[in-house]
């Protein structure tokens, strides 16, 4: 089922895009919780990590390797990558996304 992120991929609603290639798109979170808060999403409609299959491993690896490039482009060396997998883990948009967060001190463990 399509979400608001599909509309962002299609250019139907605006987003502050910081990176795009044929496989994925990265844009600033509308409700940033840190100086850098980017959402990295696959263009393929995957609900979350649990929805990913063996055939998606190249896509997932590609996205993980892009996080450094995206953080670098924003001027941040240290960053956290988080994905909320399922409603019980606070996933609110059901299109896979990796939060790339940085620019302030981050606590561990997360809440
Ligand atoms: P989740 O809670 O599913 O892990 O994260 C969803 C994220 O998407 C939230 O941080 C929320 O602020 C962000 N978000 C929701 N709708 C939009 C939107 O239309 N544009 C942008 N840029 N971010 C959105």
CA pair distance 97, 84, nearest whole angstrom: 8
Region 4-102: CATH code: 3.30.428.10
Question: What's the average model confidence in pLDDT over 69-77?
Answer: 98
Short-list 111, 36, 49, 107, CA closest to 83: 49
What three-state secondary structure class fits 108? coil
- Give catalytic residue positions: 97
pLDDT band, residue 30 (cuts 50/70/90): very high
pTM above threshold 0.85 = yes
74 lines ligand 1 (CB under 6 A): no
Look at the block and give the residue holding tokens 């649990």.
50
Per-residue pLDDT band for 52 (boundaries 50, 70, 90) equals very high
Q: What is the mean pLDDT of residues 6-29?
A: 98
Distance CA 95, CA 45 (A): 6
Residue 111 pLDDT greater than 80, yes or no: no
pLDDT of 100 reads 98
Ligand 1, pocket-test mutation among 11, 27, 29, most atoms within 8 A of CB: 29
Taking the CB of residue 38, how many other CB atoms lie within 10 A of it?
28
Predicted confidence band of residue 110 (pLDDT cuts 50, 70, 90): confident
- pLDDT value at 1 more than 80: no
């Amino acid at each position: 089922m399509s979400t608001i992120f599909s509309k962002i991929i299609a250019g139907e609603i605006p987003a502050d895009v910081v990176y795009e290639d044929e496989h994925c798109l990265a844009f600033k979170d509308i409700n940033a919780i840190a100086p850098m808060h980017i959402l990295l999403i696959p263009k393929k409609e995957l609900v979350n990590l649990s929805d990913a299959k063996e055939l998606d491993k190249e896509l997932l690896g590609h996205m993980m390797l892009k996080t450094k490039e995206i953080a670098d482009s924003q001027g941040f060396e240290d960053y956290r990558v988080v994905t909320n997998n399922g409603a019980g883990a606070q996933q609110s948009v059901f299109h896979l996304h990796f939060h790339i967060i940085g620019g302030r001190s981050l606590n561990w463990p997360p809440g």
